[in-house]
Amino acid sequence: MKPETLNFFDKVYEVAKLIPFGRVTSYGAIARYLGAARSARMVGYAMNGSHGKNVPAHRVVNRKGLLTGKHHFDGTNLMQQLLESEGVVVIENQIQNFDNIFWDPLNEL
């Protein structure tokens, strides 16, 4: 598997799968780790195809810890349910104690 054969989307999926249980990261963090610091939006765009790929998209939020992508899940509060199942406290689409559970691939990986 040459890296060149891996699409930007595939790279995003790989990183997303590496997010530890009960931790979260941001689109920008993943983008920077992939060397595409200006492509944070592409990370989110890539998650559109994350369904059925065993990708924990619910652990990826924007830089504020806001669940901006919750509307892309089936249920209205499915994304929040999944996060709370992992011990992550979410109030009004906002992850509480975000700085503490934030997982930066550049620093942790």
Partner DNA sequence: CTCTTGACTGAGG
Partner DNA sequence: GCCTCAGCCAAGA
CA-derived radius of gyration, the chain: 13
Q: Which of 12, 24, 79, 101 binds DNA (CB under 7 A)?
A: 79
Select the span of 47-55, 84-92, 99-107 touching DNA (CB under 7 A).
47-55
DSSP letter string over 69-97? TGGGSSSSSHHHHHHHHTT--EETTEETT
CA 26 – CA 59 distance, rounded (Å): 8
Cα-Cα-Cα-Cα torsion 57, 49, 16, 20, nearest 10 degrees, comes to 40
57: contact with DNA by CB under 7 A: yes
Q: For the chain, how many residues are written? A: 109
Select the span of 56-64, 80-88, 100-108 touching DNA (CB under 7 A).
56-64
Select the span of 26-34, 84-92, 95-103 touching DNA (CB under 7 A).
26-34
103: contact with DNA by CB under 7 A: no
Site for DNA, rule CB under 7 A: 7-9, 26-29, 36, 38-45, 47-48, 50-51, 57-58, 60, 62-64, 68-73, 79
